[in-house]
Amino acid sequence: MYTSWFQVKIKFQQVIEDDKVKNITEAYLFDAVSYTDAEARAYDYLAGGRPNFELYAITKMKLAEVFVQDNDADIWFKCRVQYIIFDEKTKQEKKTAVTMLINANDLKEAYEALVQRLGMGEDYIISDIGATKILEVIPYEQMDEKRVENGNFRPLAEVEQEMRAAASVETESEAALEEEIEAPEESEEAE
């Protein structure tokens, strides 16, 4: 399944010291198949921890690769890499730029990790690395696992049994109500 990366921005108000209200803006990156999917995944993922937030922007990001390192780094760096390709027809070198994302603690660590991931070849140039405001990257699999863990899943037979029980209670209540309605009518006829 082909997916794309979408940057989702939310804003909400938070009470800080001295009962002052501060406007907070946060950005997250979601792996999704469409804008609608990104919006739904954002609400599913963020709704539990942040009451009354407003999702105000969804932007599709053209990323060639997202490198997630297991180093507890909180800063996400956007890296521009230019691949050098030799064009056989024109007999000239051609540069193709791509954008990548990597998490690291600082700029130097981001550069070193990117070089390690890309290899030591000389067929690319890292032309730009900059910190982003993205707080968290949520891959598609991570959301699916969360949904299964937190879901209200029960066997279908159990759900059907509850529905039958509820329907029978409802039928009994209706029958009792009809008896109450008929009983006063009979007593009025007897008088």
CA dist 75 and 106 (Å) reads 7
CA dist 5 and 61 (Å) reads 5
The answer to whether residues 14 and 24 touch, using CB atoms and an 8 Å cutoff, is: yes
CA dist 34 and 5 (Å) reads 9
pLDDT of residue 1: 44
Instruction: Give 175's pLDDT tier (boundaries 50, 70, 90).
Output: low
pLDDT per position as a tens digit, 24-53: 899 999 999 899 999 999 988 888 777 788
pLDDT per position as a tens digit, 130-139: 999 999 999 8
Which comes out higher in pLDDT, residue 160 or 191? 160
Using the predicted structure, report yes or no on whether residue 15 has a pLDDT greater than 60: yes
Using the predicted structure, report yes or no on whether residue 170 has a pLDDT greater than 70: no
Helix, strand counts (H, E) of the chain? 4, 8
**Element at 162 (helix H, strand E):** helix 156-190
Percent of the chain, pLDDT > 90? 35
pLDDT of residue 190: 53
Instruction: Give 186's pLDDT tier (boundaries 50, 70, 90).
Output: low
Supply the mean pLDDT for the chain.
82
pLDDT of residue 62: 92
Which comes out higher in pLDDT, residue 79 or 148? 79
pLDDT per position as a tens digit, 47-94: 877 778 889 999 999 998 899 888 888 899 999 999 988 888 888 888
pLDDT of residue 69: 87
pLDDT of residue 81: 93
The pTM score is 0.68
pLDDT of residue 120: 77
Count CA within 13 A, CB hemisphere, residue 152: 2
